Amino acid sequence: MKVSMKNARGAALATVMALVTTPIFAFNLNDAANAVSNATGGQQKATAAPEAAGLLNTLGTQLNVTPQQAVGGTGALLGLAKNKLSGNDYSNLSKSVPGLDQLSGSSALGSLGGLGGMLGNSGSNSAVNNALGNVQSMGDVNNAFSALGMDSGMVSQFVPVILQYLGAQGASGSALSALSGVWGAK
């Protein structure tokens, strides 16, 4: 019994040491996609995560943003798109990237809540919740970015990355053109 107790203590000590020596931001954007999927509990859980992770990973790598900023910024822009595009255009976008709806507007709220919990931020961020709740204009998008700790100049950096990613996933030219118009992209 003493031997197994020593083994248990050794395993516990090794676990604690591993946790202590791991940086607090050892969090990747795949975790963000998992938070999106887990928070929404949607039927597309198994298929949505890879596509969502790809987009979030691309944003994180190219723009050096946190997982919360990637999810929230994408949510704000896609929320505006969902509110402004025709049903057919948004439907085509959703079909080209399964799980896109999980990242748009108010759907991103649950993701950000789950993400905050994973990062040890259990409190609700009402500014972000308010900003993502009903995105109707680029002003609302800018407010959301501000609530996420990004300046409005980051919007113009997110837009081409998201458009390029959606195009690579097979979004139609007409849908991308309509989306560019909503976001004011050139």
Query: Residue 90 — very low, low, confident or very high, per pLDDT cuts 50/70/90?
Result: confident
pLDDT surpassing 70 at residue 79: yes
Q: What does the pLDDT read at residue 111? A: 47
Query: Residue 8 — very low, low, confident or very high, per pLDDT cuts 50/70/90?
Result: very low
Integer angstrom CA distances of residue 123 from 14, 113, 129: 30, 8, 12
**Looking at residues 33-55, what average pLDDT do you find?**
53
- Mean residue pLDDT across the chain: 71
Decide if 92 is inside a domain. yes
> What confidence tens digit (pLDDT) does each residue in 175-186 have?
899 999 999 986
Q: What does the pLDDT read at residue 87? A: 78
pLDDT surpassing 70 at residue 85: yes
- Total of domains in the chain: 1
For the chain, the three-class secondary structure string (H helix, E strand, C coil) is: CHHHHHHHHHHHHHHHHHHHHCCCCCCCHHHHHHHHHHHHCCCCHHHHHHHHHHHHHHHHHHHCCCHHHHHHHHHHHHHHHHHHCCHHHHHHHHHHCCCHHHHCCCHHHHHHHHHHHHCCCCCCCHHHHHHHHCCCCHHHHHHHHHHCCCCHHHHHHHHHHHHHHHHHCCCCHHHHHHHHHHHCCC
Query: Residue 2 — very low, low, confident or very high, per pLDDT cuts 50/70/90?
Result: low
Query: Residue 126 — very low, low, confident or very high, per pLDDT cuts 50/70/90?
Result: low
Query: Residue 9 — very low, low, confident or very high, per pLDDT cuts 50/70/90?
Result: very low
> What confidence tens digit (pLDDT) does each residue in 147-177 have?
999 998 999 999 999 999 999 988 888 889 9
Q: What does the pLDDT read at residue 160? A: 97
Structural domain boundaries enclosing 122:
28-183
Q: What does the pLDDT read at residue 84? A: 92
